[in-house]
Structure 1
Amino acid sequence: MATFKHISSKNADYGAAEQYLTFEHDEFTMKPTLDGNGRLIPRDDYRISSLNCGGEDFAIACMRSNLKYGKNQKREDVKSHHYIISFDPRDAQDNGLTVDKAQELGERYCKEHFPGHQALICTHPDGHNHSGNIHVHIVINSLRIEEVPLLPYMDRPADTKAGCKHRCTDAAMEYFKAEVMEMCHRENLYQIDLLNGSKNRVTEREYWVKRKGQAALDKENASLAAKGEPPKLTKFETDKEKLRSVIRAALSSAISFEDFSGKLLQQGVTVKESRGRLSYLTPDRTKPITARKLGDDFDRAAVLETLTINAQNAARAAEKPLPQQEYPRSLKDRLQRNKAAINALKQDSVQRMVDREAKRAEGKGAGYDRWAAVHNLKQMAATMSIYEESGFSSPEELEAALATASAELNSVHAELKAVESTLREKKDLQKQLLAYIKTKPARDGLKAQKTEKARRAYREQNESDFIIAEAATRYFKAKGISKLPATKVLQAEIEQLMREKNSLYNEYREKRERTTELQTIKNNIDQILRREPERGKAKDHER
């Protein structure tokens, strides 16, 4: 689940960015880590490259450009923009993501979305707290040194011109996040929906408050352990985390908004509604915390939906008679059986059995054969356990379930391909439309020419713009487009299609995993049934 983050910097020392990327820094103070001799400690592993620096050092190239165009000379100017793409820790093991591959993706992303900017691209193999997530840093000079094409997130003519500065607007961040999701989908990496918020919204500030608080708590617990005293707490919680827990506890049993607010009031929390938005005031604060800062689970729509479901469940429970109490032999056994039935097909534990005869024919030795015998026994037990707990009474039922799963997989795959095709067409249209819009000044200038000779001279002078405009016109005619769509409407359609595609892709991965598991179970069952008669004949012969 790749995430995307942006940091703007007013630091005029461009070398500090490269120093942070290549040398170790304290994660709390952000100051360089020094060895015993007071020297900087290089990072153990990283990949770094530059873009549009003309063979010079990144800092020198940026300062030359700033002096050339007279920009970034004031203290309050934003000198650089720092973008971070963090990949899921599971991508390295499950999807084959390496540091070199991530660096390649980062360089490609930078060239495509930050053209005309001097940039540093650096990949680190690990994240904070040794989380193991590969992440890419992209640091760009805020000044643009080349004229670039009009990209979808740009909304002013100055956004394409050399000597102007990069602007990270809300629309730009939406576009960058959508492109990160597209990149993850294209490279078959884990992803989350970066466009529609999160259930628990943890800001950068809250993240570091938690990290520093946990570090201080661990230090305090270490001193208590040295004295032989037990620790009071082991996990640090921020004020927002505590508030989320209180709200969820009240929401789990409330059946109306009055009931919900009353349960919160018992914990000292006051919930307020203003202009359709909720906010929560804790006893130690004078200013309430808005639901938007806590996460999507705590806004008005989500709260009312949960309360409605609770009320419906309470009404159904009141109407239905209580079931007759069962007294199993062992309550623990019953709970374990229920848990096994729920998690039966969610466990990725069954593997395909080995055909020992075929492997022996290939020349495998006795050691491999002994391992295969043990492996087959384990997989046979796992297969039969899942087979029985899934409720299959015959191989025919298993084959029917596999056929259904395969049909569902093919259906989702076809739907995904259709959405991808539509998305490609929309992106091609957007590319041609933006190119056509950019040639408008040249086309208007041609209309202003009074004579044929002036028009020919003007056309020759702006030949490249007219070639682009004519190519776009041919594309529109070939597609039967008589009226050009608005750029904002087209961008909204593309974002909606990307959301649909990501949703379908997640569904496709689930269907594929389900189909693969059922196919493995079927192969194992076929091998078990094929070998059982041979064992029976052998035993009869021995008798």
Structure 2
Amino acid sequence: MAILKHFSSKNADYGAAEKYLLFQHDEFTMKPVLDETGRLIPREDYRISSLNCGGDDFAVACMRANLRYGKNQKREDVKSHHYIISFDPRAGTDNGLTADRAQALGEEFCREHFPGHQALVCTHPDGHNGSGNIHVHIVINSLRIAEVPFLPYMERPADTREGCKHRCTDTALRHFKAEVMEMCHREGLYQIDLLNGSKNRITDREYRAQKKGQLALDRENAALAAGGQPPKTTKFETDKEMLRRTIRQALSHASSFDEFSSLLLREGVTAKESRGRLSYLTPDRTKPITARKLGDDFDKAAVLALLTQNARRAAEQTTAIPEYPHTQKGRLREEKAAKTTPADNTLQRMVDREAKRAEGKGVGYDRWAAKHNLKQMAATVTAYQQYGFSSPEELDEACSAAYAAMQESLTELKQVEKTLNGKKELQRQVLAYSKTRPVRDGLKQQKNAKAKAAYRQKHESDFIIADAAARYFRENGISELPSYKALQAEIEVLIKEKNSGYNDYRAKREEYRRLQTIKGNIDQILHRSEPQRRKEQNHER
């Protein structure tokens, strides 16, 4: 998965952002880490580049631009925007993502979505708190130094003009998240749906508070252990996390909202509803915490749905449940155990020792191959039995069925991608056509043909764009242009559909590869070659 974070800064010192990217900082205080001589400690590994700075230092280029346009001179002005794209820690080992590739993706993302802004793009291969995930920092000057085309996330003409400032609106952030998901799909990286929120919404502030509290608790437990005393607790919980746990405990027992409120009140928590939204007030606070700040599991719709489910389950449990016969009980228990048995992800192809010896492999490799084949033989037989195959021919049929399912899923995914690309192209043409509307209206105001010809020549580039968009609409049979919001809603729905389809395709592909591995190992165990299998199948017919 990859996630996107955004921070805005009012700090007039643009060099502070560059200093953070290049030198080590404390993860809690965000202050630079110094060595014994009081000097800054450089980060061990990073990639960094600047865009639209004209060969100058990033800080110098930003301050010159601010002075040239007379912007970002007040204390309350937002001076810069900081975006972070964090990739899954498994992306390096499973998908081959490197720091250089992540840096290239970050530069491409910056050029595409922040044109006209002076920017720093820096990639760190080491994640926060030693998590090891590759992440890319994109720091842009809030001021735009060049005229840019009207992009899908922009809402007003000032968003394209030179000398105006970048605005990170809710629409823009949703667009950026959708583009990050698209980038993960394109690069074959792990990803999650970033557009539908999260069950537990943990802010960066709460995350850092949890880490800081856990370190303090570990030090306290170490002191207790040194004194021979057992620790009271080993896991630190923030106030919001304790509130989430209290709400979940109440939800697990309540079957109505009144019962849910009374259970929370026993723990000192008051549940309030205002304007169709829930909030929770703890004894140590004067201002309630809204459900939106806790996560999607705690809003009104999710709470009422779970309470209804609990009430339905309680009603069903009042009816008598027939007892199964002993034999049927055992069969159901065996089926459940077979279904819940975890898949063996260590299954690998066996090595053809004769072919490797013919290639010149030595005795050491042959000994390793013999042990490897024994392990994979046992794993293959176990997997063969788990699937319930009774003959190699059933395995062949299962491989063919898995391949057909994978191809069907891929076809559906490609169709969704084609539709999505078409909607994006239509959105681009609609935006281009709407941007030229003032120029087209100006042509109607010209009084004679000579004035119209001079006007068209003066605004030739705009009319070329408008004519190209109109030609696109005619070729695709579009007589009435859809609105931007409607197109954006359709694109987001298609992105969600593509996200689900991609996950389905990946699961079916892994299943097909696993069956292929079992099939190859079974063929090697039984010494079945491809011509031999064809001969056996023809003989059976």
Shorter-chain TM-score range? over 0.9
Q: In the TM superposition, what is the alpha-carbon distance from 1:339 to its structure 2 partner?
A: 8.3
Find the partner of 1:378 among 363, 375, 380.
375
Partner of 1:290: 290
CA distance in 1: counterparts of 2:47 and 2:242, whole angstroms: 40
Partner of 2:478: 481
1:306 maps onto 2:303 in alignment: no
CA distance in 2: counterparts of 1:347 and 1:268, whole angstroms: 47
SS of 1:29's partner is coil
Cα deviation digits, residues 362-399 of structure 1 (max 9, x gap): 33222222111111111111121222233333334433
Between 1:102-111 and 1:403-412, the stretch displaced more is 403-412
CA distance in 1: counterparts of 2:438 and 2:262, whole angstroms: 63
1:509 maps onto 2:497 in alignment: no
Cα deviation digits, residues 374-425 of structure 1 (max 9, x gap): 1111111112122223333333443343333322222211111001001111
Partner of 1:211: 211
CA distance in 1: counterparts of 2:253 and 2:395, whole angstroms: 40
Between 1:451-460 and 1:44-53, the stretch displaced more is 451-460
**Contact 2:276–2:300 (CA<8 Å) still a contact in 1?**
yes
Q: Residue type matched to 1:366 in 2?
A: V
**Contact 1:244–1:294 (CA<8 Å) still a contact in 2?**
yes
Matches within 5 A, 1:9-408: 9-321=9-321, 323=323, 341-344=338-341, 346-408=343-405
**Contact 1:344–1:386 (CA<8 Å) still a contact in 2?**
no
CA distance in 1: counterparts of 2:208 and 2:516, whole angstroms: 46
**Contact 1:257–1:307 (CA<8 Å) still a contact in 2?**
yes
Partner of 2:455: 458
CA distance in 1: counterparts of 2:333 and 2:526, whole angstroms: 29
Distance 1:202 1:338, change over 3 A: farther
SS of 2:50's partner is strand
Cα deviation digits, residues 113-160 of structure 1 (max 9, x gap): 000000011111112110001111101000000000000111111000
Cα deviation digits, residues 425-471 of structure 1 (max 9, x gap): 11111112211111112111111111222111111111111111111
Q: Residue type matched to 2:109 in 1?
A: Y
Q: In the TM superposition, what is the alpha-carbon distance from 1:324 to its structure 2 partner?
A: 5.7
Alignment TM-score, normalising by the size of structure 1: 0.92
Q: Residue type matched to 1:514 in 2?
A: E
SS of 1:120's partner is strand
Cα deviation digits, residues 58-98 of structure 1 (max 9, x gap): 11111111111111111111111111111110001000111
Cα deviation digits, residues 141-198 of structure 1 (max 9, x gap): 0000000000011111100000000001110000011111111111111111111000
Between 1:463-472 and 1:74-83, the stretch displaced more is 463-472
Of all paired residues, the percent bearing the same amino acid is 71
CA distance in 2: counterparts of 1:269 and 1:398, whole angstroms: 58
**Contact 1:11–1:79 (CA<8 Å) still a contact in 2?**
yes
CA distance in 1: counterparts of 2:267 and 2:273, whole angstroms: 18
CA distance in 2: counterparts of 1:499 and 1:114, whole angstroms: 24
Q: In the TM superposition, what is the alpha-carbon distance from 1:491 to its structure 2 partner?
A: 1.4
Between 1:215-224 and 1:41-50, the stretch displaced more is 215-224
CA distance in 1: counterparts of 2:489 and 2:193, whole angstroms: 16
CA distance in 1: counterparts of 2:318 and 2:201, whole angstroms: 36
CA distance in 1: counterparts of 2:336 and 2:379, whole angstroms: 16
Q: CA RMSD of the aligned region, Å? A: 2.4
Distance 1:324 1:284, change over 3 A: farther
Distance 1:377 1:4, change over 3 A: same
Distance 1:20 1:499, change over 3 A: same
Q: In the TM superposition, what is the alpha-carbon distance from 1:326 to its structure 2 partner?
A: 6.6
**Contact 1:45–1:124 (CA<8 Å) still a contact in 2?**
yes
CA distance in 2: counterparts of 1:127 and 1:113, whole angstroms: 24
CA distance in 2: counterparts of 1:429 and 1:60, whole angstroms: 40
SS of 1:284's partner is coil
SS of 1:530's partner is coil
Distance 1:263 1:394, change over 3 A: farther
**Contact 1:345–1:386 (CA<8 Å) still a contact in 2?**
no
**Contact 1:353–1:379 (CA<8 Å) still a contact in 2?**
yes
Q: Residue type matched to 1:16 in 2?
A: A
Unaligned runs of 5+ in 1: 328-333, 532-543
Find the partner of 1:530 among 508, 527, 530.
527
Q: Residue type matched to 1:181 in 2?
A: M
Unaligned runs of 5+ in 2: 529-541
SS of 1:347's partner is coil
**Contact 1:345–1:390 (CA<8 Å) still a contact in 2?**
no
Distance 1:308 1:114, change over 3 A: same
**Contact 2:201–2:296 (CA<8 Å) still a contact in 1?**
yes
1:440 maps onto 2:437 in alignment: yes
Cα deviation digits, residues 316-362 of structure 1 (max 9, x gap): 444353546979xxxxxx99988863444633121111222222233
Distance 1:23 1:370, change over 3 A: same
CA distance in 1: counterparts of 2:20 and 2:406, whole angstroms: 46
Q: Residue type matched to 1:264 in 2?
A: L
Between 1:139-148 and 1:310-319, the stretch displaced more is 310-319
CA distance in 2: counterparts of 1:377 and 1:335, whole angstroms: 33
Q: Residue type matched to 2:497 in 1?
A: E
CA distance in 1: counterparts of 2:281 and 2:390, whole angstroms: 57
SS of 2:142's partner is strand
Between 1:364-373 and 1:412-421, the stretch displaced more is 364-373
**Contact 1:122–1:137 (CA<8 Å) still a contact in 2?**
yes
Q: Residue type matched to 2:521 in 1?
A: N
Cα deviation digits, residues 99-122 of structure 1 (max 9, x gap): 111100000000000000000111
SS of 1:261's partner is helix
**Contact 2:344–2:383 (CA<8 Å) still a contact in 1?**
no
Q: Residue type matched to 1:495 in 2?
A: E
Distance 1:358 1:117, change over 3 A: same
SS of 1:346's partner is coil
Q: In the TM superposition, what is the alpha-carbon distance from 1:278 to its structure 2 partner?
A: 2.4
Partner of 1:331: none
Find the partner of 1:419 among 416, 421, 440.
416
